[in-house]
């Protein structure tokens, strides 16, 4: 049974169709929600609720369209709403926060020095995890869910240019901090940088 048949069955009230959709999409969806909310239990709750919504509203779903983008939209939006509510930040505040620590690209930075390091991915994640939710959501949508910038713009309900800018600023921020980090390691004077407090760095990054 493929996705279309599962949806057709679900539309007829056969819950077996939903099981197939759950089994097929749940892990990726929970992972995406987690990457935005940083909380596994919340991510599972969000995905669970999202599937319930699918169950209740499947009649409105057009069978000709692929299910994954439709479902990802529900999950990502729910995850973002949660984060905004949890942190009690308005969307404006989140957007303001997107500009923090934005510095010019350091062209002297040599990625070859760090890309092969074991802890690099943990370090990247530690930085991503501290980004403002909206900015992190953009990263997750682009690089985890493999959405195009056009799809992101549609989902985030903003012009494509804004999406491009958000991604650029997030990457810029990441690169800057990484380069500062490694330079900082050399001079041993940046260990107290606010963004390098996370446990992943203190536990695994320093030798």
For another protein, the binding residues (CB under 8 A) are 1-2, 5, 13-20, 22-24, 26-27, 30-32, 34-35, 40, 43-44, 47-48, 51-52, 55, 105, 107, 109, 111, 115, 120-122, 124-125, 128, 139-140, 143-144, 171, 174-175
Distance, CA of 132 to CA of 86 (rounded, Å): 13
Cβ-proximal residues to 181 (8 Å cutoff; 6+ apart), any chain: 123, 190, 193, 196, 201, 205
Shortest distance, CB of residue 134 to another protein, whole angstroms? 16
Is the Cβ of residue 125 or residue 189 nearer to another protein in the bound state?
125
Is the Cβ of residue 11 or residue 189 nearer to another protein in the bound state?
11
Is the Cβ of residue 93 or residue 110 nearer to another protein in the bound state?
110
Is the Cβ of residue 40 or residue 87 nearer to another protein in the bound state?
40
């Amino acid at each position: 049974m493929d996705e279309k048949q599962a949806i057709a069955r679900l539309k007829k009230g056969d819950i077996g169709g939903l099981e197939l959709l759950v089994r097929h999409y749940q892990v990726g969806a929970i992972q995406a929600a987690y990457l935005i909310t940083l909380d596994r239990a919340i991510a599972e709750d969000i995905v669970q609720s999202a599937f319930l919504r699918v169950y209740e509203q499947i009649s409105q779903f057009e069978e000709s369209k692929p299910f994954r983008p439709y479902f990802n939209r529900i999950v990502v939006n729910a995850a973002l709403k949660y984060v905004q509510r949890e942190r009690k930040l308005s969307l404006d505040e989140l957007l303001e926060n997107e500009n923090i620590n934005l510095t010019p690209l350091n062209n002297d930075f040599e990625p070859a020095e760090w890309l092969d390091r074991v802890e690099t991915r943990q370090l990247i994640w530690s930085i991503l995890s501290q980004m403002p939710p909206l900015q992190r959501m953009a990263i997750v949508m682009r690089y985890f869910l493999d959405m195009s910038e056009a799809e992101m713009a549609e989902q985030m309900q903003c012009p494509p240019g804004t999406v491009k800018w958000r991604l650029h600023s997030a990457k810029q921020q990441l690169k800057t901090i990484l380069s500062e980090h490694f330079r900082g390691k050399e001079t041993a004077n940046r260990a107290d940088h606010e963004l390098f407090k996370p446990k992943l760095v203190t536990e695994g990054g320093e030798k």
